[in-house]
Amino acid sequence: MSAQERRLSAIGEAAAGVLRHTDYHLVRAEDVASAVRLSREGQSGRRSAVWLYNEVKSRRVLVALALHHAFVEFADRNGPPERPATPGSLVEARDLVTQALLLVARFHRTEAFLTQQVQLGIGDIATSEKRQSAPQGPPSWPDSAMGRAAAAGWAGRVVAYADHLAPVISAAAHAVCLPPPGWARACAEKLSDLAFDALTDDPDGPVDRQAAALSAHWYERHLIPLAGTWINDLDVAERARDVARRGGDGTSAEADAQANVLRSLLDTGILLERAAREAGELSRLLSGPEAGTETGLRSRCDVRSRMGLALLRYGDLDAARAGFESSLEIAETEVKVNDPESAASYAARARHNLGEVLVEEGRPVEGARLIEEARSARAKGADAATGVSSAWRRFTLTAQAAARAATRAGRVADGLAQAEAVVADRQARLGDTGDINVVAARVSLGEALLEAGQPIEARHLLQEAGRQRADLLQPTAYWPNHDTVRMAQAELALRDPSAVLRLLERAPVLDDWFAARVSFRLWAEARVAHALATALGDDPGAALDALSELAALLAAAPSDALVLSVRRALAEVQFWNGDATAAAATLKKVRAAETDPGDPPGRARTLLLTARCEDARGDEGAARRHRAALAGLTASGLDAAHPLLLEGRYDEAAHRFETGRFDGLDDLLAPLLDRAPLSHGRPPLGDGHPLFLRAATLADRSGAVRLPRPPRQVLWEDA
């Protein structure tokens, strides 16, 4: 504590002692100055009023310091000493703020005389301050609790309760959203000033109702504008559930209320981890006496599916798979007995969802088969030429998943064509390019373009669609951050690390709150992209630390696609950092965890990086074997023109050129330079793709490659 802070603290203590038993208009500066105790200042005897005014500058500051000291003493005796934990529900969050304000209200009741004197003093302006010769700017105060109280007092505000309220407000807000830096402190200061005026003007009111009213003001004035109006639905649903629970545990009324809580969470896509927990609670409630009825079976099947979806987005794939498998079992063994048609629909949904889990796990070939089964089953009821129906809605979702699975399995031409078909179908039926489901299909198309070697087109589409979706959803929701991560990956493919860092560092997806509440998996993907961009931006040491920490965090799931992608990124950064031996050792662990067919593009990247490491270590034979294995992945379904295979051809061509060999360069580079469109209507590598530019440069430098000459175009007006 600085000397100035010690003096302000001592003045606050002395002023509080005087104001507790003396009317404000009778308080003399000399009395307060003589009560100051500063044994470490090296000064004995009475201090003067001049000394006091030199320190506080104003009687407003004097009373603000007195109030701050008195409340800190009261809170230390009566308040909880520990920092509050994040509440588990919105109702608990509001109650937490109410309890914090209840302490403030009790303080006002205990120190009624003091607070009334402070109210008189906080608006007092001395005659000396009105003179033209008086300083126009505010005095300088230390950046501390006492200094902030003094600064606010100078301005005629009371922030004595802000330090008590700020951590509570922060914890309460974290229950539903991610507050920006400084937001909780600003709210606490405004609420402190409001609470002081309200409680001082109402000295006889019941303290619990006063606290509840102030808490309601904070909720309406501060939390809703930050989190969004969706929390009103959640608040109503939680309170209705609490009422139902008071009527007895496990009742149908409680189950209905619990379903409303779950619906209000899932509709926003924000608190996915909590949505999964609430779905588990609803599943328990639905396992009661009515579980075997037709309605009960459908409800159980439905809630297991919803729980699995929340877990899938959050990133707990094992639990998600268990939920979907349970849903499939109920559909095929119990619902089928009473309603075969509904059972078939539920089973198709479960297979679709299980296929998506397999794709996320790094088994897209197997996932694509399951999704194709679901698409075939759903196609039967979706053959209407136009219009929107439930059957078509289910079918188009599965068609979108099928396109993504094909792309992730390495069949990029097929996946891109399917994604374009989904966009065209949705636009034709919905008739609005700004419809959120058309926008979702366009995002999926952007992902397919990125995997198919068209990063510039993908970036443009992802930017446009992502901006549209961000306008329709909350900024902390899953999907806007999903779009941000995909845009960052497109910028990474274009080797623009500054754009990647700019995108990710201003998004919630990198925050630990997002990992805990929304999606741990998406947070990890963002961390990988951020680390790679950091390494490209000439800070490989920081990137290595970040990826090593992430790999250690995910070590419990060694064969998960996310874990393997982190290790591949770690190996790539180790290679860029000049440590090919460490990179090869990391890739060896990756190869040990990979399965066949597993994830063909993932295996291709592993082989590509391993070959580069062997080249750097001088083992040409091993590098050649790994490149041959890379080319052989076409047998696993990887497109012959897949960008990873083309990258392997470029590496071989570059190695030959560097060692003075020019044989076969034309054959190696021809597929990279080919501008003939593939089945998806585009060349293998889009214009501006870094690999295409490197291949063209190598072809030009070698002189051994015949560069394709595009036909000369003539403007008709000039012909």
Residue 439 neighbours by CB distance under 10 Å: 24
Q: Is residue 679 part of a domain?
A: yes
Q: Is residue 676 part of a domain?
A: yes
Fill in the amino acid letter for 298: R
521, 525, 526, 529: CA torsion to nearest 10: 170
- Is there a single domain that holds both residue 703 and residue 609? no
pTM: 0.91
Q: What is the SS3 assignment for 384?
A: coil
What is the tens place of the pLDDT at every residue in 171-187? 999 999 999 999 999 99
323, 328, 334, 339: CA torsion to nearest 10: 130
Structure confidence at residue 17 (pLDDT): 84
128: tokens are 């000396």
- Is there a single domain that holds both residue 628 and residue 694? no
Q: Is residue 684 part of a domain?
A: yes
64: tokens are 């603000």
Selection from 435, 443, 432, 429 nearest residue 390 by Cα: 429
Structure confidence at residue 505 (pLDDT): 95
Cα 326 vs. chain centroid, distance in angstroms?
29
For residue 684, is the peptide bond before it cis, meaning its omega torsion is within 30 degrees of 0? no
Q: Tokens 């030009």, residue? A: 700
Cβ 632 vs Cβ 671: under 8 Å: no
Cα 441 vs. chain centroid, distance in angstroms?
21
Cβ 609 vs Cβ 418: under 8 Å: no
Q: Is residue 349 part of a domain?
A: no
Cβ 118 vs Cβ 66: under 8 Å: yes
- Poorest-pLDDT segment among 37-41, 76-80, 715-719: 37-41
Query: Average pLDDT in the 279-287 region?
Result: 91
Phi, psi for residue 95 in degrees, rounded to 5? -65, -35
Last residue within a domain, chosen from 227, 242, 261: 227
Structure confidence at residue 131 (pLDDT): 61
Residue 145 neighbours by CB distance under 10 Å: 17
Q: How confident is the model at residue 25 (pLDDT cuts 50, 70, 90)?
A: confident
Selection from 260, 270, 332, 352 nearest residue 303 by Cα: 260
Q: What is the SS3 assignment for 556?
A: coil
Q: Is residue 481 part of a domain?
A: no
- Is there a single domain that holds both residue 577 and residue 708? no
> In the predicted model, is pLDDT for residue 384 greater than 70?
no
144: tokens are 């501390």
Last residue within a domain, chosen from 227, 254, 287: 227
Structure confidence at residue 39 (pLDDT): 67
Q: How confident is the model at residue 425 (pLDDT cuts 50, 70, 90)?
A: very high
Query: Average pLDDT in the 623-647 region?
Result: 94
Q: How confident is the model at residue 224 (pLDDT cuts 50, 70, 90)?
A: very high
> In the predicted model, is pLDDT for residue 368 greater than 70?
yes
Q: How confident is the model at residue 718 (pLDDT cuts 50, 70, 90)?
A: confident
In angstroms, rounded to a whole number, what is the distance separating the alpha carbons of residues 505 and 178? 14
Query: Average pLDDT in the 419-447 region?
Result: 94
Residue 267 neighbours by CB distance under 10 Å: 12
Q: Is residue 456 part of a domain?
A: no
In angstroms, rounded to a whole number, what is the distance separating the alpha carbons of residues 14 and 12? 5
In angstroms, rounded to a whole number, what is the distance separating the alpha carbons of residues 501 and 624? 36
What is the tens place of the pLDDT at every residue in 497-556? 999 999 999 999 999 999 999 999 999 999 999 999 999 998 999 999 999 999 999 987
Query: Average pLDDT in the 627-655 region?
Result: 94
Query: Average pLDDT in the 554-559 region?
Result: 77
- Is there a single domain that holds both residue 610 and residue 685? no
Cβ 343 vs Cβ 336: under 8 Å: yes
Q: Is residue 546 part of a domain?
A: no
- Is there a single domain that holds both residue 42 and residue 177? yes
- Is there a single domain that holds both residue 629 and residue 660? no
In angstroms, rounded to a whole number, what is the distance separating the alpha carbons of residues 319 and 522? 17
- Is there a single domain that holds both residue 123 and residue 51? yes
What is the tens place of the pLDDT at every residue in 68-113? 999 999 999 987 777 889 999 999 999 999 999 999 999 999 999 9
Domain residues for the domain of 621 are: 551-639
109 burial class (0-12, 13-18, 19+ CB within 10 angstroms)? middle
Query: Average pLDDT in the 115-120 region?
Result: 92
Cβ 586 vs Cβ 548: under 8 Å: no
How much is the mean pLDDT over the chain? Answer: 90
482: tokens are 């999903």
Cβ 321 vs Cβ 340: under 8 Å: no
- Is there a single domain that holds both residue 95 and residue 54? yes
Cβ 412 vs Cβ 678: under 8 Å: no
> In the predicted model, is pLDDT for residue 623 greater than 70?
yes
- Is there a single domain that holds both residue 87 and residue 165? yes
Cβ 129 vs Cβ 58: under 8 Å: yes
> In the predicted model, is pLDDT for residue 135 greater than 90?
no
In angstroms, rounded to a whole number, what is the distance separating the alpha carbons of residues 476 and 133? 51
Cβ 415 vs Cβ 682: under 8 Å: no
Residue 127 neighbours by CB distance under 10 Å: 7
- Is there a single domain that holds both residue 606 and residue 674? no
Instruction: Name the CA radius of gyration of the chain, rounded.
Output: 33
Structure confidence at residue 62 (pLDDT): 87
What is the tens place of the pLDDT at every residue in 287-315? 866 655 667 788 888 999 999 999 999 99
- Is there a single domain that holds both residue 184 and residue 209? yes
Q: Which residues are CB-contacts of 146 (< 8 A; sequence separation ≥ 6)?
A: 5, 8, 9, 12, 65, 68
Percent of the chain at pLDDT > 90 equals 69
Q: Which residues are CB-contacts of 73 (< 8 A; sequence separation ≥ 6)?
A: none
Please count the structural domains in the chain.
3
Last residue within a domain, chosen from 186, 203, 227: 227
- Poorest-pLDDT segment among 146-155, 229-238, 486-495, 617-626: 146-155
In angstroms, rounded to a whole number, what is the distance separating the alpha carbons of residues 140 and 127? 21
- Is there a single domain that holds both residue 710 and residue 563? no
> In the predicted model, is pLDDT for residue 42 greater than 60?
no
In angstroms, rounded to a whole number, what is the distance separating the alpha carbons of residues 542 and 540? 6
Q: Is residue 184 part of a domain?
A: yes
Q: What is the SS3 assignment for 44?
A: coil
